[in-house]
Structures are given as C-alpha cells and as structure tokens.
Amino acid sequence: MNFNPRYHRQVILPEIGTSGQEKLNAAKVLVIGAGGLGCPVLQYLTAAGIGTIGIIDFDTVDISNLHRQILYGNSSLGMNKSLAAKHRLEDLNPDITINAYPEKLTTKNAVSLFSEYDIIVDGTDNFSTRYLVNDACVIAKKPLVYGAIFKFEGQVSVFNYQEGPTYRCLFPEPPNAGSVPSCSEIGVLGVLPGIIGSMQANETLKIILHLGNILNGILFTYDCLTAQSSSFSIPRVESEVSKVIANAKNFETTDYDVFCGISKISEIDARDAFEMNNILFIDVREPHEQPKIDNLNPDYVPLGQLQQYINKIDKEQEIIVFCQSGIRSKKAVEILLEHDFKNVSHVKGGAMALYEFQTIKEV
C-alpha cells in the first residue's frame, strides 16, 4: 500500500506494519449507538483507518449528552447522532467510508444490516436492544464487541467469536424490568464510557489484526473509583445458542421489549403534556433530582413510595406520570394499572423532554 503519514505511528509497530494497516483498511465495522460508548469507539476506529464504518442511531444530540459524548458540541444539538457523528468523523479521517443510518435498529433490519459488516460493536444502553443485537449476531454469524456501564463501573467482552460464548451464555434471562436504571436515570461519571468505549475499540482492532489475547469468553470489569479490574471466564452454553438458532425464522416477529418485561403502556409527548387540562401529574423521581417541572404543578411521589400513596389518588382522575427519562414512570404506570386505575399514561422522555419543551416555551 502507498505510504500514508496519518497511520505512521501504528504502521512502524512491527506487530502491525503495512500488512496490518491493509487489514484495517479492508475491515468493515458497524457501531450500534453513537452515545457515550459509541463516541470513543468511533473516534479511535476512524483514526486507526478502519476502511468502512457504519453508525446506526435514531436519537438526537441533547445538551445533557455533551459531558460524555465527545464527538458532539453545541453546534450538534438537535441533530441526529449518526449524522452528527459522520460529519465529525469525516473531518477526522476523510480517507475512509462512513455510513450513517439515522434509524432505529429493529428485528426487521438487524440481520441484513449486520451481514454487510465484519464486526458488530454494541454501544447500546438497554437490555431489549442488547438481546436483539446478540441474537442477530448469532444468526448473521458476526462477532460482537460488548460494553456496558453503571455509575462508576464498566464491563467489556467479545461474544460469538470463534465458537465462543454469546451474550445469552452470560445473561440467559434479562433482569426484572426497571430494576437496572440507565445512566440517564442514575447518572454516570463522564470519563467512564470513554474508558470502556476505548477498550471496545481496542478489542475490535485486536480482532482485525489477530493480535494479543482477545476477550473471547472473558468478562473484563473495571471500577473507575478504585482503579481495580477483574476478569471472569464465561462458558459457552450450547442450549442458549441453540435457542437463538432455532428461533431464527421467527426473529423478525420477536418482541424483545416483551421478552425483557417491558409492557406496552400509553405514553404522551412532552409537548402535549403542557397543552392538557385537568390532569394530575405525578413526578416519581427522588427529591434531589433535577430539573424540576414546576409549571405542571405535579405531586412529588418517589417511585418507592407510590404504593403507600395510592389511596390518596382519585381513580377517576386522568393521571400522567413522569420520571427523569421515562424508565421509572413506566413501572409507576404498571403499579397504578395493577390497582385498577384506568386512565394512566407516562411522558415519553421524562423530565428531560419536559424541561426542553418548557424552556422553548419560556423563550
């Protein structure tokens, strides 16, 4: 290949050389989610010269993303993340191909999309999508580079690689719905997804270059407060892999939200919430959580106290529940429905969506 000074520092490594750079240039990697994990993955893979990178993300850039999603700035606010990331990455390295997919990953498009790439990198933050991604990788026979974060801790592994274990071998069943909050619900130190995402990029490069000890069948965990790490072996469970293969014909009709215990409940947009009258709004966040949405005059009832508060609520009243981003509010609606409340819904996107629209109205 022709000399390119862009890659000189890695090409002079004898373990890589020009032949290794050619492997990187020929590789095709799909990154699912251009958020806290996806941003460092994308940045380092782009800089390394991965020939074709795909980015799928239907979400838009919000100001609350900027403390950890390092590809974006104020000029990106409101833009689709996959398109904003593509714009930034093409400036970082114009010599590669970057495909943006500003859409949601579903059972309808996953397998066909995965088939176009060599490696899949999971930067998602919810269990239903993780199981969907795992199953699509098994069906499409693609290795999966996995990463996840929780507050100050993160984990990384490589699944479905060279007959190794899959995500379902580690987690055969999802946790109870709402029992593991996302970072938008519980928070995260901004540098943690940078650390874990960089490790995912590292595993991706090792797979392409056939270097080092790949985390195949190994779960690596890291605590950024103690700087301690641990590694655990993951056995391949053939019965779990066989379930996915056996269900391949029904994959497109599988409802992963139902599998993860996420019920289909009524939700409304933040914009509509401010236009409604005679509504009882209930904020189920903890007292310290911001921003407050005082314009709706909500009752403040933390989710853990909702059961004790139920007898004080008029069952004939129309009720709209909200939390920080829409996770706990779904659980709150389920609780109310179990107690025979009929006219209950929750706010899509939670208090963050309400605050954004409230700010626009005030301007």
Higher pLDDT, 314 or 206: 206
Residue 205 identity = L
Considering the entire predicted model, what is its pTM?
0.79
**Helix 38-48 with 191-209: angle, nearest 10 deg:** 40
Return d(Cα 157, Cα 163) in angstroms, integer: 14
Q: How confident is the model at residue 363 (pLDDT cuts 50, 70, 90)?
A: very low
Q: Where are the beta strands (DSSP E) in 160-297?
A: 218-223, 228-233, 267-268, 280-283
| Confidence check: pLDDT of 362 > 70 | no
Helix/strand/coil for 100? strand
Show Cβ contacts of residue 104 under 8 Å, excluding neighbours closer than 6 positions. 58
Instruction: Please determine, for residue 60, whether its predicted confidence score (pLDDT) is greater than 60.
Output: yes
User: What pLDDT, on a 0 to 100 scale, did the predictor assign at position 11?
Assistant: 95
For residues 251 and 106, what is the distance between their CA atoms, to the nearest angstrom? 10
pLDDT in tens, 235-294: 999 999 999 999 999 999 998 887 887 666 788 888 888 888 889 999 999 999 999 998
Contact 107, 252 (CB under 8 A): yes
Structure tokens at 272: 């509509």
* Chain mean pLDDT for the chain: 92
Q: Are 7 and 21 in contact (CB under 8 A)?
A: yes
Q: Any residues with CB less than 8 A from the CB of 63 and at least 6 apart, and which?
A: 74, 77
For residue 219, list its beta bridge partners: 232
Query: Residue 126 and residue 175: Cα distance in Å, rounded?
Result: 11
DSSP codes of every residue in 297-341:
--EE--GGGHHHHGGGS-TTS-EEEE-SSSSHHHHHHHHHHHTT-
d(CA 30, CA 32) in angstroms, rounded, equals: 6
Determine the pLDDT at residue 217.
94
Residue 84 has pLDDT above 80, yes or no: yes
DSSP letter for 225, please.
T
Mean pLDDT over 174-185 rounds to 69
179 has a pLDDT exceeding 70: no
Q: How far is CA 264 from CA 174, 182, 330, 348, in A?
A: 17, 19, 9, 12
Among 267, 351, 282, 288, which residue's Cα sits nearest to residue 64? 351
Crossing angle of helices 38-48 and 81-92, rounded to 10°: 30
Tens digits of residue pLDDT in 294-333:
888 999 999 999 999 998 898 888 999 999 988 899 889 9
